[in-house]
Amino acid sequence: MPVDFEGAAVFHAGPVVRKREDGGYDLVVIGAGFTLIGSLGLMRMPDFFTRLHGPSKATTVGIGSLLVASALFMSFRGGGLSLHEFMISLFIGITSPVGSHLLAKAARHRRLPGAEGWDAPDQGRNR
């Protein structure tokens, strides 16, 4: 039996557990990639409305992937199914689109560059 540097016995996981862990690692890398792309979109886009698109879409998918990876890891390591991550995903899935919509509506109301092409029936009430 292998022994670690402190003298404790080391148990190696079987191939099925290893594949599950590798799937979790893949989800972490995918989530980190989406989050990075969304953050770069926030910095690199030219105006407010295109800057709003990157974090609201890509970062939400990235954080969701990270949370699914965390839920899988905790479920396999812990005593049962981990629901905390799914509740966080639900909260982010609800609040991110609502927050993006409110920011876009406020930018339209303030007539930021990029909002000049929007003509809606309620335009007169927003003045």
Q: How many domains are there within the chain?
A: 1
Domain that includes residue 37, residue range = 15-111
**pLDDT given at position 4:** 44
What does the pLDDT look like over 10-28, one tens digit per residue? 455 555 555 666 677 888 8
Cα 74 from Cα 76, distance rounded (Å): 6
Does a structural domain hold residue 3?
no
Does a structural domain hold residue 122?
no
pLDDT in tens, the chain (127 residues): 454 455 555 455 555 555 666 677 888 899 999 888 888 888 888 888 888 887 788 888 888 888 888 888 887 777 677 778 888 888 988 888 888 889 888 888 887 776 666 556 555 555 5
Cα 7 from Cα 10, distance rounded (Å): 9
Does a structural domain hold residue 121?
no
Phi and psi at residue 9, to the nearest 5°: -70, 140
Does a structural domain hold residue 89?
yes
Does a structural domain hold residue 117?
no
Does a structural domain hold residue 2?
no
